[in-house]
C-alpha cells in the first residue's frame, strides 16, 4: 500500500470522474511546464492542486486533448509511414530482414514522430494518478522520462525550421528570427534549471522558494515556518504558520504548530485553542500531543488551578484509550517527576539526533 495522505495528494478523496479531471489538469500543467518552465517547485501539496469543482473546465479539456490527439496522430503517422515504405520497397516489405539500407533515400521521420508522441502519453500515464493513486499529486520528477520524447520532438521541429529558413525563397530575416527564438528557448530552460538548483542551497532556501512557487501549498508555508523557528525567528514562524492553517484548517499539525509558536512566545492562553483543535483531530499522534503538552507545562499553564489543565483532561476523556488520554493523565500524575511529559515520549527537536536508549 502506498502512503495515504490527502495533504500530499487531495485526489485520494475524489471520486473517479473528479480524480480523472484533476489528473488531466495536472497533466496539462506539467506538459506546459516542460515546454515553458516558469518557477519549478519542490512540492505541490494541498490545496495547491485541489479536487476540481467541476468535471469539465479549460484545463481538463486541454489535458484530455493532449492525451487523445498525440495518440491518434501517432497512430496515423505510423500507418502512413509504413504505407509509404511499402510503396517504395514492395519487395522488401515482404522480406523485412533482407531490406537493404538505401543511402540516397531521404529519411522518413514520421515513425520517429509517431513514437515520440505516443511515448509522452504512455510514459506519463502510470504516474498520472489515473491507474494508481500516488502519494504525491504532482512532481517535476514524473516528467523525466516523458521529457526524453519531447526533447526529440523539439529537436526535429527546430531542425525543420532552420532548414526552411535556409530555403532561397524564405525571407532574409527568417533564419535570424528562428535562431533568436531558439536561443531564447534554450536560455529560458537553462535559467529555470539554474534557479531551481539554487533552491537546494539549504532547507530554508528550499521551502522559501517552494512557498513562492506554490503559494497555496500549506505544507510549504508550515515547513518554512519551522525552518525560521529553528533559527529563532518566532514572529516569522507565527506569520507563516497562520498562512498554513488558513490554507488547511483541518490539518492537525498546522493547528498544533501554531499553538506551539504562540506558546514559545509565552502566549500559552492564546495557544490553547489551537492546541485543543489539533489534539481533537490527532488524538493518537504521540509526537504532536507531547509537543504541545510539554510547552504548556514549561509555560506553567498546567498548574492545578489552571482551566487549561481541566480542559486537557476532559479532551483526553473524550478520546478514551488514545495517546492524548494517556499523556493527559500522565502529566497530572507524573508531571513533577518528569518535568513535564515523560522524556521517552517527547518528540525530537529539529535537527536533533536519535533519542538516547
pLDDT in tens, 241-296: 999 999 999 999 999 999 999 999 999 999 999 999 999 999 999 999 999 999 99
Segment 63-86 shows an average pLDDT of 92
% of residues, the chain, pLDDT over 70: 92
Residue 227's pLDDT is 95
Q: How confident is the model at residue 353 (pLDDT cuts 50, 70, 90)?
A: low
Of residues 77, 74, 71, 78, the one with CA closest to residue 121:
71
In order of 208, 251, 274, the CA distances from 240 in angstroms are 10, 15, 15
In order of 83, 99, 114, 288, the CA distances from 96 in angstroms are 14, 5, 20, 67
Q: How confident is the model at residue 85 (pLDDT cuts 50, 70, 90)?
A: confident
Q: Cα 104–90–84 angle (5° rounding)?
A: 65
Residue 45's pLDDT is 93
What span, in angstroms and rounded, lies between the C-alpha atoms of 56 and 67?
15
Segment 151-171 shows an average pLDDT of 91
Q: Is the pLDDT of residue 94 over 70?
A: no
Residue 90's pLDDT is 63
Segment 157-169 shows an average pLDDT of 90
Q: How confident is the model at residue 4 (pLDDT cuts 50, 70, 90)?
A: confident
Of residues 93, 97, 70, the one with CA closest to residue 83:
93
What span, in angstroms and rounded, lies between the C-alpha atoms of 336 and 333?
8
What span, in angstroms and rounded, lies between the C-alpha atoms of 312 and 137?
36
Q: What is the second-level CATH architecture of the domain 204-345?
A: Alpha Horseshoe (1.25)
Number of Cβ within 10 Å of residue 81's Cβ equals: 17
240: left (phi over 0), alpha (psi -120 to 50) or beta: alpha
Q: State the chain's mean pLDDT as an integer.
A: 91
Q: How confident is the model at residue 104 (pLDDT cuts 50, 70, 90)?
A: low
Q: Is the pLDDT of residue 156 over 90?
A: yes
Segment 301-328 shows an average pLDDT of 95
Residue 141's pLDDT is 92
DSSP 186-203: HHHHHHHHHHHHHTTSSH
Residue 47, preceding peptide bond in cis (omega within 30° of 0): yes
CB 77, CB 111: distance < 8 Å: yes
Q: How confident is the model at residue 9 (pLDDT cuts 50, 70, 90)?
A: very high
H-type helices in the chain, by residue range? 16-35, 58-88, 90-94, 110-124, 144-165, 174-198, 203-213, 218-230, 234-247, 252-264, 268-281, 286-298, 307-318, 323-338
Residue 86's pLDDT is 78
Whole-model pTM: value is 0.87
Segment 326-349 shows an average pLDDT of 90
Which residues of the chain does CATH 1.25.40.10 include? Answer: 204-345
Tell me 140's DSSP state: G
Amino acid at each position: 500500500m502506498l502512503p495515504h495522505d490527502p495533504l500530499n495528494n487531495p485526489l485520494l478523496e475524489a471520486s473517479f470522474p473528479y480524480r480523472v479531471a484533476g489528473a488531466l489538469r495536472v497533466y496539462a500543467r506539467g506538459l506546459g511546464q516542460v515546454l515553458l518552465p516558469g518557477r519549478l517547485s519542490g512540492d505541490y501539496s494541498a490545496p495547491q492542486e485541489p479536487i476540481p469543482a467541476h468535471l469539465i473546465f479549460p484545463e481538463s479539456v486541454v489535458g484530455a486533448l493532449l492525451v487523445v490527439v498525440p495518440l491518434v496522430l501517432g497512430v496515423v503517422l505510423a500507418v502512413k509511414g509504413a504505407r509509404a515504405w511499402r510503396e517504395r520497397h514492395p519487395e522488401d516489405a515482404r522480406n523485412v530482414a533482407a531490406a537493404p539500407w538505401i543511402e540516397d533515400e531521404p529519411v522518413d521521420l514520421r515513425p520517429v514522430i509517431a513514437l515520440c508522441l505516443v511515448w509522452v502519453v504512455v510514459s506519463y500515464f502510470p504516474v498520472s494518478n489515473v491507474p494508481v493513486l500516488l502519494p504525491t499529486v504532482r512532481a517535476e520528477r514524473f516528467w523525466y522520462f516523458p521529457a526524453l520524447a519531447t526533447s526529440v520532438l523539439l529537436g526535429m521541429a527546430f531542425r525543420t525550421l532552420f532548414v526552411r529558413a535556409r530555403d532561397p525563397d524564405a525571407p532574409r530575416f527568417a533564419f535570424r528570427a528562428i535562431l533568436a527564438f531558439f536561443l531564447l528557448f534554450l536560455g529560458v530552460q537553462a535559467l529555470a534549471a539554474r534557479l531551481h538548483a539554487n533552491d537546494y542551497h539549504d532547507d530554508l532556501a528550499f521551502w522559501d522558494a517552494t512557498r513562492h512557487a506554490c503559494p497555496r501549498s500549506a505544507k510549504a508555508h508550515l515547513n518554512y515556518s519551522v525552518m525560521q523557528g529553528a533559527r529563532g525567528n518566532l514572529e516569522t514562524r507565527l506569520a507563516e504558520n497562520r498562512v498554513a492553517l488558513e490554507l488547511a484548517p483541518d490539518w492537525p499539525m498546522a493547528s498544533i504548530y501554531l499553538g506551539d509558536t504562540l506558546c514559545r512566545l509565552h502566549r500559552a492562553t492564546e495557544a490553547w485553542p489551537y492546541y485543543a483543535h489539533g489534539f481533537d483531530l490527532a488524538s493518537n499522534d504521540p509526537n504532536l500531543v507531547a509537543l504541545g503538552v510539554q510547552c504548556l507545562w514549561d509555560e506553567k499553564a498546567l498548574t492545578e488551578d489552571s482551566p487549561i489543565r481541566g480542559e486537557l483532561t476532559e479532551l483526553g476523556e473524550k478520546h478514551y484509550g488514545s495517546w492524548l488520554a494517556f499523556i493527559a493523565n500522565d502529566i497530572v500524575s507524573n508531571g513533577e517527576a518528569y518535568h513535564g511529559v515523560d522524556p521517552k515520549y517527547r518528540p525530537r527537536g529539529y535537527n536533533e539526533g536519535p533519542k538516547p536508549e
